[in-house]
Structure 1
């Protein structure tokens, strides 16, 4: 049997040589519509998606299930093909990280006054798949309490539309994205893994499972937390995500590779003539129709390949969808004249729509850890030794995934301490003008609304206020990491020039609220306690960092402000909130003041979750696709042939409709001929 790679090369070879195929097949058989020359795209598309990252590729795949709909994705980064082996190998997220490379935007915050004036590195993926192509692969869903609280914040404007963001709706959307594969009995037993597979998706594009290699310390992780009074959670995907468990990872156990938005949603597709994905092209602004002030109508998207290149504009038939994440989406809005008036005028951008919330409400998870020497075998030790085990796909699929979410009472040592903390939070709401880097009354109202949710719904619940992770990827070391989950310190992001090639100014305003410092300090104290508790303590030796000299609260505070950094979970800069609370999008994802611009990515969360943001962002993208297709009354996709498969087989193109965009139809492949060619190649495979 021919391997799949040979089949793909055969198809491409036939296309490039023109063998038995008309000339217009050349572009149709370009892998998954990825285009490197902007001269090969059409002049107009129904939808232009800004950003080919995690959410953008989900939207592209789902919207083009309707073959009468044309979609262009514009991605500033490269395809990632040159480093595909590194991306596909899960463990290389540690050992061959792309952070700091050309595949990373390499953002930095401004100096943070509460972190000893340190500027913090903010890496973000700059390639197809975005950060889902280079991240740590944790797939952790948020809690029902959090999601329903989010829906409640927007319900005062439109309760019917807000129901799309209730737990039941988002849960269904997250399930739609997933296909779960249970671990082997050996891995399950050695790692003490517990789960309820009935809560997982079974037919989505995105694979999630457990690594093919694990360590007995994972089972000890469970028992250690139970000895500390934190219960094990065997059903963390159902809306109650607190407690201790081994998280799933976005890994395809069929070949032990990373599963991310490109490999899940784009690569399994046959050629779709209605989908084009342009790489190495930076969107410089959205173009709006003259005279559309107050209800701006986007007519085009302007982009360029580099700072000095000639700009080109592609026309938009229906909508622009921003999917650039918590940094890219607000940046594009501001470059296009939508945002805080003072920011736009200072940057030399004409104000088309004053929307004060753009770039505001910026939130992030802060994190650092306590590290210890160890004599037990770690993943980092195995990899550095270079043994035969270290080269196996199963071992190279290992990524850290031992997780725990601890509630406020447990973290602070009792109900009285938790009550005192909540009072500190509530009192600070009255002085919010000193906690938010904006004096705009709408933004301040939004901060108070978000803080009220945190203080009165999230803190009193069982939801984790600190996350704990077990790290085993360093040779000779074990680490217990702690991360703040509901920051009360909000920052902002803003442009400082009219050029898309100038990085925006990022100010997370870390630790502006003293309560955040309390959570980080107590989290690190608990991290030390976890490592010193049986049975995990059997694997732990001397403390390396911070070391036994750090004991008092003052010593912890002095140490941690020089150590803590981002957990890479920035969000909320295009918050889904009422406009009078500094909101940017409504419950239908439409940008206030525009007729046909939406945002669909992690920037819409009004507050950050006690979870990694990958799972809910996939849910947002799936839900956005359903909302948009429903808005245009698109026919539902065929179950048999129009969506990416969760298996290794590819779906067939929708043959019922032809693209209606004349500029695209000039290079549409004949699906009948494609089917005949496929049949011929399948016959060869049987030889």
Structure 2
């Protein structure tokens, strides 16, 4: 079967690309998705992400290789394996990132990707609950809802504690500045998850020129003798199928599976491909390099006053929250568990915010056991988590074998720079200062972990090494830039030296952004789609 465009991956980016390319009706579009349809009720209700956290039917459930600086632990890295991708299973915190993040993209040799260039695409994808403004869109597909005014009292105490310490308060992390303490926005519409599958793809699937093939696992790209990519081969229900593209194949499989598919197809570092017995069709040494992620750890507190633990742990409390959601689309089931937080300078010498905090009025452990469930601690509690905004450690994604069914080797190389270690200590000290401020210390009965006995730099660092985990913001593995020796795509997201192939997903990030990366991934999809259509019109 032949289409004008083939989009590989129906995730946060791919759903947008497929929708925009099919919008005019002039182009035929095929969307390939390895998972099934996101029909379950649990994809709609925000708190339902707990049901997909360890569900292999909708989650690739990847793990890193043993991380040498984290006690040789294999860190869990969930990735969506369902229509909507990771946007169907995430916690929905909507943060664009700092202005400097995108100006750094531009300054890395990518004209048109500075903050002022990308802001129109952020606004294009958004309908903000407070209406259109210079910072927000008012008529876009993704609905964004502030949680301010609906947070738990202990979350409000966190904000008071920040204010008490002289830390700035921020009404809108997606406004003029990202710095300060505040309440997060979430991508929800009337208490339901608002993501690219629901808002872009489902309406688009009514178009005759858009076709989706689900449960179709991409095996390799079809590369012609002249080096042009002309299509894709997938395995679907035990049968190999091939699809051809007249114009382009667009990879939107994410920061793990996009470089994996490139390498399986002979597009990557020649030595890596040779070691796996794969013929090099194009030597692209940066494929799978530059992997970046946010690494976080949580401090746990026992509370003197009730938090959400009791209600989430009891059937009566869950029933009450369920009724609130069913009747009014409100309450904790309609929100992210990460209610408050912010972006702070870990020391007075920092030139910009470098530490992100998440404040959660629910104290729970995430068990490293697929058979376990996410359950609250058996006492009133809350937690504060933190990560560096722009970690400098970089890793790799490489294929484990020539077999597409095998998971790739993910090596983030966490905490491999002195800068990242310094920021661990900055973040740890900052969380302690906030917890000890009067407004929040009035709630604190004790610091459960790491506990007050963990005080020295060495002990705090050890706590982080053995208790940290990914916050699931993997990106950068097919970075955008002008030098094909160090990057994979150009500023128009075309793969260097490979006609007919583009990449439009988080793998093109030259550097990780401050905050959660789902919003910037969707922005890349909006801007990338516009570029593809511009180039098609001028061809």
Common fold by TM > 0.5: yes
- The yes-or-no answer on 1:305 pairing with 2:208 is no
Q: Could you say which residue in structure 2 is the equivalent of 1:219?
A: 156
Question: Hey, what's the Cα distance between the residues in 2 that align with 1:599 and 1:301?
Answer: 14
Q: Could you say which residue in structure 2 is the equivalent of 1:374?
A: 303
Contact 2:295-2:471 at 8 Å conserved across structures: yes
Q: Could you say which residue in structure 2 is the equivalent of 1:232?
A: 169
- The yes-or-no answer on 1:397 pairing with 2:334 is yes
Contact 2:284-2:484 at 8 Å conserved across structures: no
Q: Could you say which residue in structure 1 is the equivalent of 2:145?
A: 209
- Once the two structures are TM-superposed, the CA of residue 100 in structure 1 deviates from its matched residue by 4.1
- Once the two structures are TM-superposed, the CA of residue 581 in structure 1 deviates from its matched residue by 5.0
Contact 1:53-1:261 at 8 Å conserved across structures: yes
- Once the two structures are TM-superposed, the CA of residue 93 in structure 1 deviates from its matched residue by 2.3
| Larger displacement relative to structure 2 (203-212 or 256-265) | 203-212
Cα pair distance change 1:326/1:270, threshold 3 Å? closer
Runs of 4+ in 1 over 6 A off after TM superposition: none
- The yes-or-no answer on 1:570 pairing with 2:474 is yes
- The yes-or-no answer on 1:354 pairing with 2:283 is yes
Q: What SS does the aligned partner of 1:240 have? A: coil
Correspondences of 1:424-573 after superposition (within 5 Å): 460=351, 462=352, 464-474=353-363, 475=376, 476-573=380-477
Contact 1:495-1:504 at 8 Å conserved across structures: yes
Question: Hey, what's the Cα distance between the residues in 1 that align with 2:448 and 2:133?
Answer: 39
- Once the two structures are TM-superposed, the CA of residue 348 in structure 1 deviates from its matched residue by 1.5
Of Structure 1 and Structure 2, the greater helix share is in 1
Q: Could you say which residue in structure 2 is the equivalent of 1:650?
A: none
Question: Hey, what's the Cα distance between the residues in 1 that align with 2:285 and 2:302?
Answer: 49
- Once the two structures are TM-superposed, the CA of residue 310 in structure 1 deviates from its matched residue by 3.2
> Which of 185, 196, 199 is residue 248 of structure 1 equivalent to?
185
- Once the two structures are TM-superposed, the CA of residue 198 in structure 1 deviates from its matched residue by 4.6
- The yes-or-no answer on 1:268 pairing with 2:216 is no
Q: Could you say which residue in structure 2 is the equivalent of 1:64?
A: 22
Cα pair distance change 1:246/1:346, threshold 3 Å? same
Contact 1:302-1:313 at 8 Å conserved across structures: yes
Contact 2:390-2:514 at 8 Å conserved across structures: yes
Q: What SS does the aligned partner of 1:367 have? A: strand
Contact 1:283-1:302 at 8 Å conserved across structures: yes
Question: Hey, what's the Cα distance between the residues in 2 that align with 1:51 and 1:345?
Answer: 27
Q: What SS does the aligned partner of 2:244 have? A: strand
Q: What SS does the aligned partner of 2:231 have? A: strand
- Tell me the alpha carbon deviations over residues 458-506 of structure 1, each in whole angstroms, 9 at most, x when there is no partner: xx3x2x2111110123342100111122111111111121111111111
- The yes-or-no answer on 1:109 pairing with 2:64 is yes
Bigger Rg, structure 1 or 2: 1
Q: Could you say which residue in structure 2 is the equivalent of 1:78?
A: 36
Q: What SS does the aligned partner of 1:266 have? A: helix
Cα pair distance change 1:370/1:501, threshold 3 Å? same
- Once the two structures are TM-superposed, the CA of residue 264 in structure 1 deviates from its matched residue by 1.1
Q: Could you say which residue in structure 1 is the equivalent of 2:2?
A: 44
What are the ranges of 5 or more consecutive residues in structure 1 without an aligned counterpart? 1-42, 156-161, 183-194, 419-459, 636-687
What are the ranges of 5 or more consecutive residues in structure 2 without an aligned counterpart? 364-375
Contact 2:231-2:243 at 8 Å conserved across structures: yes
Contact 1:176-1:203 at 8 Å conserved across structures: yes
Question: Hey, what's the Cα distance between the residues in 1 that align with 2:383 and 2:288?
Answer: 34
Question: Hey, what's the Cα distance between the residues in 2 that align with 1:166 and 1:561?
Answer: 35
- Once the two structures are TM-superposed, the CA of residue 402 in structure 1 deviates from its matched residue by 0.7
- Tell me the alpha carbon deviations over residues 550-590 of structure 1, each in whole angstroms, 9 at most, x when there is no partner: 01111112221111111101110000022255100000100
Question: Hey, what's the Cα distance between the residues in 2 that align with 1:196 and 1:406?
Answer: 27
Question: Hey, what's the Cα distance between the residues in 2 that align with 1:567 and 1:551?
Answer: 25
Contact 1:521-1:560 at 8 Å conserved across structures: no
Q: Could you say which residue in structure 2 is the equivalent of 1:177?
A: 125
- Once the two structures are TM-superposed, the CA of residue 267 in structure 1 deviates from its matched residue by 2.3
Q: Could you say which residue in structure 2 is the equivalent of 1:91?
A: 47
Question: Hey, what's the Cα distance between the residues in 1 that align with 2:88 and 2:255?
Answer: 17
Of Structure 1 and Structure 2, the greater strand share is in 2
Question: Hey, what's the Cα distance between the residues in 2 that align with 1:355 and 1:492?
Answer: 14
Contact 1:361-1:575 at 8 Å conserved across structures: yes
Contact 1:142-1:239 at 8 Å conserved across structures: no
Q: What's the C-alpha RMSD, in Å, of the aligned pairs?
A: 1.9
Contact 1:175-1:204 at 8 Å conserved across structures: yes
- The yes-or-no answer on 1:320 pairing with 2:249 is yes
Question: Hey, what's the Cα distance between the residues in 2 that align with 1:266 and 1:488?
Answer: 35
Q: What SS does the aligned partner of 1:503 have? A: coil
- Tell me the alpha carbon deviations over residues 9-60 of structure 1, each in whole angstroms, 9 at most, x when there is no partner: xxxxxxxxxxxxxxxxxxxxxxxxxxxxxxxxxx111000010111000001
Question: Hey, what's the Cα distance between the residues in 2 that align with 1:472 and 1:311?
Answer: 49
Q: Could you say which residue in structure 2 is the equivalent of 1:433?
A: none
Contact 2:392-2:419 at 8 Å conserved across structures: yes
Contact 2:340-2:358 at 8 Å conserved across structures: yes
Question: Hey, what's the Cα distance between the residues in 1 that align with 2:27 and 2:117?
Answer: 25
Contact 1:141-1:239 at 8 Å conserved across structures: no
- Tell me the alpha carbon deviations over residues 337-389 of structure 1, each in whole angstroms, 9 at most, x when there is no partner: 10001111111211000000000011111101110011433334223332453
Question: Hey, what's the Cα distance between the residues in 2 that align with 1:264 and 1:401?
Answer: 24
Question: Hey, what's the Cα distance between the residues in 1 that align with 2:305 and 2:123?
Answer: 37
Q: Could you say which residue in structure 2 is the equivalent of 1:141?
A: 96
| Larger displacement relative to structure 2 (624-633 or 573-582) | 573-582
- Tell me the alpha carbon deviations over residues 417-436 of structure 1, each in whole angstroms, 9 at most, x when there is no partner: x5xxxxxxxxxxxxxxxxxx
Question: Hey, what's the Cα distance between the residues in 2 that align with 1:278 and 1:146?
Answer: 35
Contact 1:180-1:197 at 8 Å conserved across structures: no
- The yes-or-no answer on 1:151 pairing with 2:106 is yes
- Once the two structures are TM-superposed, the CA of residue 634 in structure 1 deviates from its matched residue by 8.3
Contact 1:286-1:332 at 8 Å conserved across structures: yes
TM-score, normalised by the number of residues in structure 2: 0.92
Question: Hey, what's the Cα distance between the residues in 2 that align with 1:542 and 1:586?
Answer: 52
- Tell me the alpha carbon deviations over residues 390-438 of structure 1, each in whole angstroms, 9 at most, x when there is no partner: 212112102123121112xxx13x33xx5xxxxxxxxxxxxxxxxxxxx
TM-score, normalised by the number of residues in structure 1: 0.72
Cα pair distance change 1:607/1:101, threshold 3 Å? same
Question: Hey, what's the Cα distance between the residues in 2 that align with 1:310 and 1:196?
Answer: 48
- The yes-or-no answer on 1:595 pairing with 2:499 is yes
